[in-house]
A = this chain, B = another copy of it.
Amino acid sequence: MNNKFAKRTQNLKPSEVREILKVTERPEVISFAGGLPAPELFPIEEIKKACIEVLNDKGQSALQYSTTEGYVPLREAICGRMKNLGIEASIDNVIVTTGSQQALDLSGKLFIDEGDTIICESPTYLAAINAFKAYMPKFQEVAMDEEGMIMEELEKTLIDNPNAKFIYTIPDFQNPTGRTMSLSRRKKLVELANQYNIVIIEDNPYGEVRFAGEKLPPVKHFDTEGRVIYLSTFSKIFAPGLRLGWICADKEFIDKYVPFKQNIDLHSDIFAQMITAKYMELFDIEAHIEKIREVYRHRRELMIKCIKEEFPENIKYTLPDGGLFIWVQLPDNVDASELFVKALENNVVFVSGQSFFPNGNYKNAFRLNYSNMPDERIVEGIKRLAEVIKEYKN
């Protein structure tokens, strides 16, 4: 019955992320693969209090159908967080999504017709690639350096692709590279988008997890024409299991996102939304995020120290100021997916770089996650990985 499926199923394959989650279930494997937060930091007792209070005070509403846009007190709290980042927004500019993954799918649905061009960093977040791929676009990748997307390259791409639908960017501690777009490039990005009349989708799941360097305003802060659609999530600052993210955008966009959101799940879990809002009302989420930053700073420093000590000198790697990931660049002749097989045999895993290039044309890099592993496993895992790299070279 294969002829019955839609065309978009043809380039569908179980993504690496899912396969990764399966591998990490084996206790002997040290996984630097997923983008999982440190579970020991989840505020379980506080969430329990929030649950009880929500069920005691508003149990019926917490369990009933609700509105597509999301729970008003949560959207108000989101507006407050946005304001702290330098973005003025009212609740009419915010919808709650089922994780920011849903915001990616909705963005594909809203903008992409088959064959349309979309522009992204090279490399970029693999689950964004997969979400967009379902709508069958062409990807134009823009090269990056240590300051993020290279604006001269972006302008060339915009000139060559005048009908491109949007620019997708992760300016803060990018997934997979850990790189941060510089202040001047943020401003330039908005200028170019204005000049070439294109939408920017700014995906910022990690921005609040900055543990070094100077805080930078989001790209949307510089948006004067309402063309930046800002996506974020509670997954990295609270609890990913609850699947709560948000879209903050001009009302013109929100009015189109909402009916699509309604078509795909009516609304996000209202109990989870009320728990999250109640948690922020009862407890100090800023203090909680500060704890996350401290732990991730420590783990990032430990992992970099181990890499410096253990990896061969010709291996390059990024030095993130926040977020969850380090990007490792191997010599040209190394294929990271071959290395992955060897690494798995040695009970240590990463995500090979190729998955992060929508056009698949890059092999000698991989992504390391440092947020999810305790010290001794970071030390041991990098040692194992170094062995595999050294063996591969011979």
Contact = CB atoms under 8 A, between A and B. Distances in A.
Interface in A259-312: 259-260, 262-272
Chain multiplicity (copies):
2
A34 B47 CA distance: 31
A67 B272 contact: no
Given A63-B39, A63-B42, A241 B269 contact: yes
A214 interface: no
B101 A263 contact: yes
Given A1-B227, A9-B110, A55-B47, A102 B265 contact: yes
Interface stretch (A10-18, A81-89, A172-180, A349-357): A10-18
Interface string A226-267: 010000000100011111000000001001101110111111
Interface in A332-364: none
A65 B51 contact: no
Nearest to A40: B60
A379 interface: no
A8 B63 contact: no
A194 to B, nearest CB: 11
Contact of A241 (B62, B116, B130, B260): B62
A44 interface: yes
Contacts of A105: 263-265
A241 to B, nearest CB: 4
B14 A258 contact: yes
Contacts of A235: 65
B5 A262 contact: no
B134 A109 contact: yes
Contacts of A74: none
A150 interface: no
Nearest to A197: B1
B15 A259 contact: yes
A26 interface: no
Nearest to A273: B241
A198 B116 CA distance: 31
A144 interface: no
Interface residues of A, number: 84
A393 interface: no
A127 interface: yes
Contacts of A1: 197, 199, 227, 252
A130 B266 CA distance: 11
Nearest to A165: B4
A63 B44 contact: yes
A100 B255 CA distance: 23
A328 B353 CA distance: 59
A99 interface: yes
A348 B135 CA distance: 41
Interface in A1-32: 1, 4-9, 12-15, 17-18, 21-22
Given A1-B227, A63-B239, A271-B272, 19 more contacts: A4-B111, A4-B166, A4-B198, A8-B113, A22-B67, A36-B64, A39-B61, A40-B60, A47-B55, A47-B63, A48-B55, A51-B52, A63-B241, A64-B240, A65-B241, A98-B265, A98-B269, A105-B263, A134-B263
23 contacts: A4-B165, A5-B256, A6-B109, A8-B109, A12-B256, A13-B259, A14-B255, A15-B262, A18-B68, A18-B262, A21-B67, A36-B64, A48-B52, A52-B52, A61-B241, A63-B242, A98-B265, A99-B265, A101-B263, A134-B263, A269-B269, A269-B272, A271-B272
